[in-house]
Structure 1
Amino acid sequence: MSTITLHARRALGLVVAVVLTTLSISVFNPAPALAQSGPIGYASLNGGTTGGAGGPTTTVTSASAFVSAVASNSAKIVRVSGTIALSGMVNVGSNTSIIGNSGATFTGGGLNFDSDRNVIVQNMRFNNWSDDAINVQDASTNLWFDNNTFGTGNDGALDIKRGSDYITVSWNRFNGTDKTMLLGHSDSNGGQDIGHLRVSYHHNWFNGTNQRTPRVRFGSTVHVFNNYYVNIGAYCVATTMNAGVLFEGNYLENADDAVHIGEGDSDPGRILSRNNHLVNTGTPASSGSVSGVPYSYTLTTPSSVKSVVTASAGAS
């Protein structure tokens, strides 16, 4: 069990069941196992992202216990059980894995990562947040957000800003969010952001979202691949302030205004759109030159992304 990731288990389906039966293993599945090989994309670089691996495991069922459990910078795995009502933004320390048991939910507040390093958040549900569901800032590095589900709340679902770097956002589901994912908070923050904000977004399900999936300033090369966009409101991706975005292998359905080059008062960025599968969607724009990414990856066949992502993205 410990070597099978949440989305791998779901995607493999019957094959996994057959293997487990053959090995005579009883599956209780209180929570997904941490991925042994780590994330794909930028979070795999710069020393990798292992979260709290090797540290003690604590299971929490209340806000006070959760706040205490995640506060330090020592290695730790914090499993969340049930629904926890958070008050505002909870500061999370470095070297932390936050893993939800089945159905685990945060409501009312969110998670704040401020100058942190090496964190994993997996299999959590977020609803009715009062500020952001997740806020990453002040040069936080090596974070992995995987197999979470986001409902709706006051502001961003998963915002990354202020020089943060080496981050992967994978296999999440966003249901009807408006200001979904900001990457780079201000047009005036280039001094801190240029050369950083390197993020990989892959195999996420943007289900009836409105905008900012993501909205990018300065980051290059931001990699947006193999995501499923359906019934999108304003737009999918905006590239601004000379950001460079590689937008490839995505499945876009009823997402006609897919790419904005420039947004609001922000100057235009660059984007290379290629090999996307389009259903009732116009061809996504490309503009300028964009470099490749410094890691290996394998694209899911674009026409298969919808079935793969809807079978596996989000929390259990």
Structure 2
Amino acid sequence: MLVRRRRTALILATAATTAALAGVGVITAVSAHAAVGCSVSYSVASQWQGGFGANVTITNLGDPLGGWTLRWSYSAGQQVTQAWNATVSQSGSQVTATNVGYNGNVGTNGTASFGFNGTWNSSNPAPSSFSVNNVTCTGGTAPTTPGPNPTTPRPTTPGPTTPPPTGPTVPPQTGLVGWATQNGGTTGGGSAASTTVTSASALTTAVGSSSAAVIRVSGTISCSGMLRVRSNKTILGVGSNATISGCGLNINGDRNVIIRNINFHGWDDDAINVQESATNIWIDHNSFTDGYDGAVDVKRASDFVTISWNRVYGHDKSMLLGHSDDNASQDNGHLRVSYHHNWFDGSGQRHPRVRFGNPVHVYNNYYNNVSGYGVASTENAGVLVEGNYFENTDDPYHLGEGDSGPGSLVARNNHFVNSGSGQTGGSVAGIPYSYQLDTASNVKSIVTSGAGTGRIGL
């Protein structure tokens, strides 16, 4: 069963959008007698002061499309800041979204989905109309021009030769969700001009700048140690092969940082270290393998962090949350992190290992052949383990770890294949944000097809 949680305002916004789009169709200029039409779903997945994340799905009701360009206008000054699964640009109020290489072909009754983050000021109304390939969406299916004999019935156009894929009826949330939407939200470098880096020296300079920036990592950058990342940065890998090898990124007391679509390999400390009260961090769609210590460690009172759609493989210590049993005075009331749709692929431990944070939200992750343990709640932490898929994982979750005393752990709606049953106890604070919970039995296919680098069209 698909479970949705939405703020009341977002429910009303989505309902209004649905009403506004009822009967809306998409028409594309194909052959003169092609049957055309579709529907568009536009929903605000999360919203915070000054920012929001949205998901868009086109359902093709007519003949197959070989590519699409979707356009709409905003009426209240909203601005798109970054997107995934589509190339999106904006001129004034007009927004243009074009397919990327892998989702341009849309068969009859097929769908194409993408998501984006944006900014808003006084209000955030949904668009009132859409067009595809410069033709206004009108609903229904009809030929773009009349045939030579209008009285002759048009032959029925066959659908795709293969059936549409089965799975969840609502696309998974691939935009920003979770704790990083709180505390004012996380926008990284926002609309700042982008710069592309190809060397360690250029990367070091770019991430260490005091100015807001969008930094695009191209190719393999070899380095050592930890590179300091300052506030208001978006760090994006270009394509599927962008790699940082030998070193890691250190967010030390700064805020509003996004790291996406990068392969981290062979780091000599941590791959990503979030510490010293760093806040509003989003770590998304990266891959981690063969490093020394943690893939993603969050500690020393850091807060409002989302870690999503990453893949960890060929590595032992994955994700530590809270570094020491002796740090309660600094960490209590902080270390609030969401871990969702990550793929722990034959990794060892700490998925995550949690101290003090409450609530920590671990949902819709895929654990496969985990050799040590999945989740550990220690030192009075509160962890909600929800809707995950555990396969060949003897110890999916437990209380306490090593010399650390137990925390609380609530587990619900998880799916187990050849795995242990886990240990639970205590209670966990409520989750304050809206999120979509995918059905646990679908999580394996969802995560393996979407986690890691090269999945977001950058």
TM-score w.r.t. the length of structure 1 is: 0.91
User: 1:75 corresponds to which letter in structure 2?
Assistant: A
Q: Distance in 2 between matches of 1:78 and 1:22?
A: 28
Which position in structure 2 is the counterpart of 1:22?
68
Deviation at 1:136, TM superposition (A): 0.6
Q: Deviations over 1:167-218 (max 9, x none)?
A: 0000000012211111000000001000000000000000001100000000
User: 1:227 corresponds to which letter in structure 2?
Assistant: N
Deviation at 1:83, TM superposition (A): 0.2
Q: Distance in 2 between matches of 1:34 and 1:155?
A: 33
Taking a change above 3 Å as real, the CA distance of residues 28 and 283 of structure 1, as seen in their structure-2 partners, is closer
Which position in structure 1 is the counterpart of 2:296?
158
Structure 1 SS opposite 2:441: helix
Which position in structure 2 is the counterpart of 1:77?
214
Aligned pair partner of 1:285 in 413, 423, 439 = 423
Aligned ranges 1:205-244 → 2 under 5 Å:
205-244=343-382
Which position in structure 2 is the counterpart of 1:45?
182
Taking a change above 3 Å as real, the CA distance of residues 50 and 58 of structure 1, as seen in their structure-2 partners, is same
Q: Distance in 2 between matches of 1:88 and 1:139?
A: 21
Which position in structure 1 is the counterpart of 2:313?
175
Q: Distance in 1 between matches of 2:215 and 2:59?
A: 30
User: 2:389 corresponds to which letter in structure 1?
Assistant: Y
Q: Which runs of 4+ in 1 moved over 6 A?
A: 12-15
Contact 2:243/2:264 (CA < 8 Å) preserved in 1?
yes
Which position in structure 2 is the counterpart of 1:303?
441
Deviates more, 1:291-300 or 1:58-67: 291-300
1:36 aligns with 2:82: no
Aligned pair partner of 2:285 in 123, 126, 147 = 147
Q: Distance in 1 between matches of 2:394 and 2:413?
A: 16
Structure 2 SS opposite 1:94: coil
Structure 2 SS opposite 1:265: coil
Taking a change above 3 Å as real, the CA distance of residues 27 and 20 of structure 1, as seen in their structure-2 partners, is farther
Deviation at 1:14, TM superposition (A): 10
Deviation at 1:54, TM superposition (A): 1.9
Aligned pair partner of 1:89 in 226, 240, 246 = 226
Taking a change above 3 Å as real, the CA distance of residues 303 and 34 of structure 1, as seen in their structure-2 partners, is closer
1:118 aligns with 2:256: yes
Q: Distance in 1 between matches of 2:59 and 2:371?
A: 36
Structure 2 SS opposite 1:113: strand
Contact 1:73/1:96 (CA < 8 Å) preserved in 2?
no
Aligned pair partner of 2:342 in 204, 228, 234 = 204
Contact 2:287/2:453 (CA < 8 Å) preserved in 1?
yes
User: 2:365 corresponds to which letter in structure 1?
Assistant: N
1:192 aligns with 2:238: no
Q: Distance in 2 between matches of 1:188 and 1:148?
A: 31
User: 1:147 corresponds to which letter in structure 2?
Assistant: H
Count of residues in Structure 1 that have an aligned counterpart in Structure 2: 302
Taking a change above 3 Å as real, the CA distance of residues 156 and 289 of structure 1, as seen in their structure-2 partners, is same
Taking a change above 3 Å as real, the CA distance of residues 78 and 275 of structure 1, as seen in their structure-2 partners, is same
Structure 2 SS opposite 1:68: helix
Q: Distance in 2 between matches of 1:28 and 1:71?
A: 33
Contact 1:208/1:230 (CA < 8 Å) preserved in 2?
yes
Q: Distance in 1 between matches of 2:192 and 2:254?
A: 17
Structure 2 SS opposite 1:282: coil
Q: Distance in 1 between matches of 2:254 and 2:410?
A: 31
Contact 2:345/2:369 (CA < 8 Å) preserved in 1?
yes
What's the C-alpha RMSD, in Å, of the aligned pairs? Answer: 2.2
Deviation at 1:22, TM superposition (A): 3.1
Taking a change above 3 Å as real, the CA distance of residues 34 and 111 of structure 1, as seen in their structure-2 partners, is farther
Residue identity over aligned pairs, in percent, reads: 57
Deviation at 1:259, TM superposition (A): 1.3
Deviation at 1:97, TM superposition (A): 0.2
Structure 2 SS opposite 1:220: coil
Contact 2:68/2:99 (CA < 8 Å) preserved in 1?
no
Deviation at 1:278, TM superposition (A): 0.4
Q: Distance in 2 between matches of 1:42 and 1:136?
A: 14
Which position in structure 1 is the counterpart of 2:192?
55
Taking a change above 3 Å as real, the CA distance of residues 157 and 14 of structure 1, as seen in their structure-2 partners, is farther
Unaligned runs of 5+ in 2: 1-41, 43-56, 71-97, 103-113, 119-174
Deviates more, 1:282-291 or 1:175-184: 282-291
1:246 aligns with 2:327: no
Contact 2:224/2:267 (CA < 8 Å) preserved in 1?
no
TM-score w.r.t. the length of structure 2 is: 0.63
Q: Deviations over 1:198-254 (max 9, x none)?
A: 000000000001100000000000000000000011100011000000001000000
Contact 1:162/1:185 (CA < 8 Å) preserved in 2?
yes
Which position in structure 2 is the counterpart of 1:267?
405
Contact 2:314/2:347 (CA < 8 Å) preserved in 1?
yes
Structure 1 SS opposite 2:283: strand
Contact 2:408/2:426 (CA < 8 Å) preserved in 1?
yes
Unaligned runs of 5+ in 1: 4-11
Deviation at 1:26, TM superposition (A): 6.8
